[in-house]
Amino acid sequence: MTRAGDVVAEGWREAMPALRAISLQADASGTNLRFEVNLDQSAGETATAKKVLETLLAIAPEAQASIVRRARSHRPRLMYRVTVTARFEAAHNLLDYAGGPEPLHGHSYRVEAVLEAEKLQQYDVAVDFLPARAALEAIAKEFDYGYINDHPAFRGRNTSAENLALHFAERLQSSGALGWAKVAEVAVWEGPDNRATYRPPARKP
């Protein structure tokens, strides 16, 4: 009987992603049977779960059956990750800083954007390198050989590597160059040794 329940469970998993488990319980005598269908708490597939139970009860009509909702697992999903890079040279200074504004200085910046997709897109790629890198380089070009503080996005904001990372992440995500991929993180390097990383908040399931 347990094997029959396992077979039914496997047959339903592909059609019903919210299905976490089907269990068959029995008392010590083996006569009082109970099927339990476990669903993710956020899933709206109760009607489908009832069909699963009907199938199970056809195997063991004497059994009791119930639907149990479990909290969604927080196990990370498997992802494809792609990294694109851009560089620019620019001057800046933090205006709101301990002891007053920083002296004007410059850096050789490197921006690394990590892009994430749950499945492959056209041509079996998670993200097309060429448009993604072109979009990142177009954002970097706005700062290249300039004074970052003069950029409209940084009026009234400190031009820290952290704020730059946030800016690149938001602009790249809205560029239209990523398909259904998302920006997982952006790191901005100020020279070869120091970097700041921004990770957008996790999306709600």
The answer to whether 70 touches 99, Cβ cutoff 8 Å, is: no
- CATH architecture of residue range(s) 80-198: 2-Layer Sandwich (3.30)
What global pTM score does this model have?
A: 0.63
The reported pLDDT for the residue numbered 101 is: 93
Specify the higher pLDDT residue, 37 or 154. 154
Domain range summary for the chain, segments of one domain joined by + = 2-70, 80-198
Of 40-44, 55-59, 97-101, 106-110, the range with the lowest mean pLDDT is 40-44
CATH fold of the domain at 2-70: Alpha-Beta Plaits (3.30.70)
- For residues 120-146, average pLDDT: 95
